[in-house]
């Protein structure tokens, strides 16, 4: 029990998914939480029904995955329950509990609603989702995008608006309050939201606002501005755009297989160094969660150990030591995999630095740009994957994003130096 108490103390007060494991490592239960620390701790401080009591009696270990928001935790929970089929998630085993969201772009005035099966009818389908989660998504869409919510098709023209229009959840196409082109623009803005790319949803709304302003349709521009402000506020408060929905689970699973890892590398942290002939040396750390960038956990480092000498190996050692020791190690969750932009020298020095921080069990690999070779610590030969494999494509995205972020920071530092700002 002492090890479980240590696990409880280490849980972050962040949204995420927790996994209860049995004595042989099997997944007994998967749950989501707004605060992992509060939710998991509640199992040990409150009275429970007989099912939960039996679950706790069989509990041997606790694992967790941090998500950017409660909504993201819901979607990740859905993915993991389908993957592991835990025996204590009985209520979620039936496929009927996993509906789709259907966006009827095959209709003149599209609608969004819940269905149990996909059909080849020209509509867009999203999911599957858990029943509770799908209702939360519908609520969010109603708040942001006032498309019609009536069931009739085709839509009939009316003289009086419905209740949805009166409360601001419908733009009133049946009474001529919105043109067909503008209505379809609203519908198209919903798609990236349902795909988990909130930044793209914001960009679509901003483009529509600029278009309305250029056409001197200031009422519509003001309306779109209010929707943008609302979505931006939700992004700021909940981290929705910073923690995209982890929908690339197949890439993560394949990466685990080809690298021979013990667990799925859901959280990957990538590092890169940038400098000009040894000057203004900086490092970047990017984080990918579920195969997609988690920008809230990106970090930048100004390297101090190299002086004015170009030494990427020494710089990599410094940045790994700083990330996985001290305050930053306590603030951020540990990754399932570390990716270094470089070859065997950088990988070996990163592995040595990890050992010094007490985290030698975290897998670390390098990806060299020239031939896309994967280097493992102390390995005699690199691992070479088919360039079409999803696992390599995932590593390339992490490596390229770390490089982009490092170069961006280096240019910023160089610009400040040149102009004395």
**Range with lowest mean pLDDT among 13-27, 121-135, 344-358:** 121-135
pLDDT at 408 over 70: yes
3-class DSSP state for residue 271? strand
The model's pLDDT over 64-110, given as tens digits with 9 standing for 90+, comes to: 888 877 777 877 887 788 788 888 875 444 444 568 889 999 999 99
Percent share of the chain, pLDDT over 70: 84
For 141-164, what is each residue's pLDDT tens digit? Answer: 877 788 898 888 888 888 888 888
Domains and CATH numbers, the chain: 2-90 (3.40.1440.10), 97-238 (no CATH), 249-419 (3.30.420.340)
| Percentage of the chain exceeding pLDDT 90 | 24
Q: Round to whole Å and give the CA distance between 246 and 291.
A: 6
CB burial readout 369-399, b (16+ within 10 A) else e: eeeebbbbbeeeebeebeeeebbbbbbebbb
Q: What is the pLDDT of residues 360-402, one digit of tens each?
A: 999 999 999 878 999 999 888 999 999 889 899 999 999 999 9
Mean pLDDT (whole number) for 249-254: 80
DSSP H/E element including 329: helix 326-331
Q: What is the pLDDT of residues 178-231, one digit of tens each?
A: 888 888 888 887 887 777 666 667 777 788 788 877 888 777 777 778 777 766
Quick check: pTM over 0.85?
no
Q: In what order do the strands lie in the sheet with 16-21?
A: 27-33, 16-21, 61-66
| 156 DSSP assignment | P
CA distances from 226 to 26, 167, 210 (A): 48, 15, 13
Q: At what angle do helices 70-84 and 131-144 cross, to 10 degrees?
A: 150
């Amino acid at each position: 029990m002492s090890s479980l108490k240590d696990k409880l103390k280490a849980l972050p007060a962040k949204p995420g998914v927790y996994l209860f494991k049995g004595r042989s490592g099997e997944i007994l239960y998967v749950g989501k939480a707004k605060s992992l620390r509060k939710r998991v701790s509640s199992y040990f401080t409150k009275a429970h029904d007989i099912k939960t009591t039996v679950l706790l009696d069989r509990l041997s270990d606790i694992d967790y995955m941090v998500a950017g928001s409660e909504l993201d935790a819901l979607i990740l929970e859905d993915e993991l329950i389908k993957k592991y089929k835990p025996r204590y998630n009985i209520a979620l085993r039936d496929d009927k509990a996993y509906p789709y969201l259907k966006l009827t772009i095959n209709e003149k005035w599209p609608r969004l609603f819940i269905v149990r099966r996909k059909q080849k009818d020209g509509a867009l389908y999203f999911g599957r989702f858990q029943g509770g989660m799908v209702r939360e998504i519908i609520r969010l869409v109603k708040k942001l995008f006032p498309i019609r919510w009536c069931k009739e098709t085709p839509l009939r023209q009316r003289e009086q608006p419905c209740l949805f229009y009166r409360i601001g959840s419908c733009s009133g196409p049946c009474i001529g309050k919105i043109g067909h082109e503008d209505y379809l623009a609203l519908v198209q803005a919903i798609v990236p939201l349902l795909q988990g790319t909130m930044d793209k949803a914001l960009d679509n709304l901003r483009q529509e606002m600029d278009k309305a302003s250029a056409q001197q349709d200031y009422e519509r521009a003001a309306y779109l501005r209010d929707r943008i402000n609302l979505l931006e506020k939700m992004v700021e408060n909940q981290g929705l755009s910073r923690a995209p929905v982890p929908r690339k689970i197949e890439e993560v699973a394949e990466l685990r297989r080809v690298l021979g890892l013990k667990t799925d590398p859901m959280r990957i942290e990538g590092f890169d160094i940038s400098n000009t002939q040894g000057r203004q040396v900086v490092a970047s750390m990017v984080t990918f969660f579920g195969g997609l960038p988690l920008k809230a956990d990106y970090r930048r480092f100004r390297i101090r150990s190299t002086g004015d000498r170009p030494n990427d190996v020494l710089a990599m050692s410094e940045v790994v030591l700083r990330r996985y020791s001290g305050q930053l190690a306590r603030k951020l969750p540990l990754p399932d995999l570390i990716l270094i932009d470089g070859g065997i020298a950088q990988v070996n020095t990163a592995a040595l630095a990890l050992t010094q921080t007490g985290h030698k069990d975290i897998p670390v690999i390098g990806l060299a740009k020239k031939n896309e070779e994967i280097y493992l610590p102390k390995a005699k030969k690199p691992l070479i994957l088919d360039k079409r494999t999803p696992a390599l494509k995932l590593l390339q995205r992490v490596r390229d994003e770390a490089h982009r972020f490092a170069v961006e920071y280096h240019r910023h530092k160089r610009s400040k130096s040149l102009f004395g700002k």
